[in-house]
Amino acid sequence: MQRGDSLNSPFVPFSPNPSIQQGTPTSTPPLKHTLSSSTSSNLRYSSSRKSIYDRHLNRSQRSELSKASFAFLFGEMVQYAQKRVNGITDLEKKLNLHGYSIGQRLLELLLWREGRGAKRETRILGILQFITTTVYRSIFNKPADGLEKSRDNEDEYMLIDNDPMVNSYISVPKEMSQLNCAAFVAGIIEAVLDGCLFPGRVTAHSVPTEQLPAKTVFLIKFDESVIERESVLG
Amino acid sequence: MSFYFAIVGTKDNPIYEAEFGTSKQGGDGVARFREEQRSMNQFIVHSSLDIVEEVQWATPTMYMKCVDKFNNLQVSCFLTAGNIKFLLLHDQKADDAIRQFFTDVYDLYTKTLMNPFYEVDMRITSGVFDGKVKQAAKKYL
């Protein structure tokens, strides 16, 4: 079962990106071939001849989205995922996947918007601070509430959010109390980390306290290769 | 002055490639590589990927100037946030012009990525993208 067996497929079968389905590997057609066939017009152009390349990337920078529309969309997203899975871990995985594709795009967009002096992050602390401030501010308009390093494990870090916006209109029944829909945001964080070559797993855990009943901790567990590299870099 | 440009994805897979010549000083914008040289271009660019991967941890900048030399050809590299490599094979130094070209292509790549149907590591087959890259090449190189 593969998307696009034809020679014109732009689809590359091997990828670490979990949102691409695994299929049996086929030989990838030479690039020149794909490019020339794109000029044959089974492509439909909009009548004003405008494409996405004509939109400016800063156009949506200052625009805001109403919380209600997002809550509606997110609620539908959770319901959609729930119908197609059996089990809480699968549901969280699906939400993680949704967030993953957003995170990939957000990473590139945010660094592009920084302009000429943009710097890629090469250290763990750097990338975590980037996520806590820049990424969080661009999605939720406020930085995350805390960043901690685990005392027991070298490779675990915790990002704290006192009230994740995505959970504000989601009510979880008692039988599914382990579910935390902030798995969506965990997916975004995981994609940003993967894109900068800090592979790992990010999971969302609810740790309700008296004053903050919706407090969520994102547990970030890096792969060994990251810790090794970090120690080599000093 | 001829250029060979390639965009390489996170799995060392080619996403896009193009050849052009310089349009400055009376050049007509057509690449002039000798036939044997042409088939070597891909290999040279591919072998410089190793060096890029080493250098990328030493510096936080996105534009790394010349990372590799082969005979009389140089490979310059631009690394995006998502670890996509833009590699340009050229025979003369032109740091500033190349940097502006890379910045333009970075803008185009980010716009391509904004397409929800485009996944990271997919080939770029859009004719519009191709046209805009060639336009940028004509403008800066």
Query: pLDDT value at position A26?
Result: 44
Which residues in chain A are closer than 8 Å to B112, comparing Cβ atoms? 52-53
Residue A98 lies in a domain: yes
CA angle, residues A155, B84, B35, in degrees to nearest 5: 140
Task: Read off the pTM.
Answer: 0.81
Domain that holds residue A129: 66-233
CATH of the domain at A112: 3.30.1380.20
Q: What is the pLDDT of residues A165-201, one digit of tens each?
A: 888 888 888 888 888 888 999 999 999 999 999 999 9
The nearest alpha carbon in chain A to B129 belongs to: A53
Residue A130 lies in a domain: yes
Residue A30 lies in a domain: no
Return the H-helix or E-strand segment holding B113: helix B95-113
Do residue A57 and residue B114 have CB atoms under 8 angstroms apart? yes
Q: What is the pLDDT of residues B23-72, one digit of tens each?
A: 665 566 566 667 777 778 888 888 889 899 888 888 888 888 888 888 88
Which residues in chain A are closer than 8 Å to B116, comparing Cβ atoms? 101
* CB proximity under 8 Å: B 75-114 to A: 79-83, 103, 106-114
Residue A6 lies in a domain: no
User: Which of A11, A35, A116 lies at the smallest CB-CB distance from B122?
Assistant: A11
Those residues whose C-beta lies under 8 Å from the C-beta of residue A16, and which sit 6 or more positions away, are A194, A199, B10, B11
User: Which of B14, B57, B129 lies at the smallest CB-CB distance from A31?
Assistant: B14
B42 touches chain A (CB under 8 A): no
Domains of chain B: 2-140 (3.30.450.70)
> Cβ(A8)–Cβ(B127) under 8 Å?
no
| Domains identified in chain A, total number | 1
Which residues in chain A are closer than 8 Å to B80, comparing Cβ atoms? 108, 111
Q: Residue A183 to residues A150, A208, A219: CA-CA distances in angstroms? A: 20, 16, 11
Q: Which of A141-155, A209-223, B25-39 is predicted with the least confidence, judged by mean pLDDT? A: B25-39
